[in-house]
């Protein structure tokens, strides 16, 4: 059972980027954690990252066409990208919005998610474990 784990802008810089907010673990650590959790759950996890909105929209189209469940950390796109929202609205399988930090506890502009309403659900604030919890949610939803 394939699952995409899609990551938006600046997430390739985990580990060096604001470690007080996002932790010391790197993007490669995140990839390894998702693959390992996937193995335990019988999911074949493909992790991708892009800083480019058009590329992310393309991946969401691919997931919709392939009926592939998605775990999505839209990063800053969360707060303003209607293009991403419209792409997610076309989904044909569950999609979990994830955040490493808890955006509700941060700056005002992070309190709005323009994608939350078209996601199956949202998991935020548990560090990299947000992704693990999202993989469990996908396993339950698609089991």
Active site residue 136: no
What residue is closest to ligand DQA based on CB?
A: 75
- Is residue 75 within 8 Å of residue 11, measured between CB atoms? yes
- Is residue 106 within 8 Å of residue 137, measured between CB atoms? no
- What SS3 state is found at 48? strand
Indicate the DSSP class of residue 24: S
Nearer to ligand DQA, 32 or 105 (CB): 105
- Choose, by CB under 6 A, the member of 76, 83, 116, 128 that binds ligand DQA: 76
Could you say whether residue 129 binds ligand DQA (CB under 6 A)?
no
Crossing angle of helices 129-142 and 27-41, in 10° steps, is 30
- Choose, by CB under 6 A, the member of 37, 78, 81, 122 that binds ligand DQA: 78
Residue 108 CB neighbour total at 10 angstroms: 6
- Is residue 1 within 8 Å of residue 94, measured between CB atoms? no
Could you say whether residue 110 binds ligand DQA (CB under 6 A)?
yes
68 assigned binding-site residue: no
Q: Which residues are annotated as a binding site?
A: 73, 79, 86, 100-101, 110
- What amino acid positions are annotated as catalytic residues? 22, 99
Q: Which residues are annotated as a binding site for substrate?
A: 73, 79, 86, 100-101, 110
Q: Residues in the site for ligand DQA, rule: CB under 6 A?
A: 10, 73, 75-76, 78, 99-101, 103, 110
């Amino acid at each position: 059972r394939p699952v995409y784990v899609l990551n938006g802008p600046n997430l390739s810089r985990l580990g060096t980027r604001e470690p007080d907010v996002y932790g010391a673990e790197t993007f490669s650590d995140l990839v390894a954690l998702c693959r390992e959790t996937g193995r335990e759950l019988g999911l074949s996890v493909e992790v991708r990252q892009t800083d480019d909105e058009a590329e992310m929209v393309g991946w969401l189209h691919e997931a919709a066409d392939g009926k592939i469940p998605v775990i999505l950390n839209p990063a800053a796109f969360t707060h303003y990208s209607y293009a991403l929202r419209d792409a997610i609205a076309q989904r044909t399988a569950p999609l979990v919005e994830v955040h490493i930090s808890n955006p509700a506890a941060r700056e005002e502009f992070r309190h709005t998610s323009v994608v939350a309403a078209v996601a199956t659900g949202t998991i935020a604030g548990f560090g990299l474990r947000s992704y693990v919890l999202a993989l469990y949610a996908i396993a339950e939803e698609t089991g």
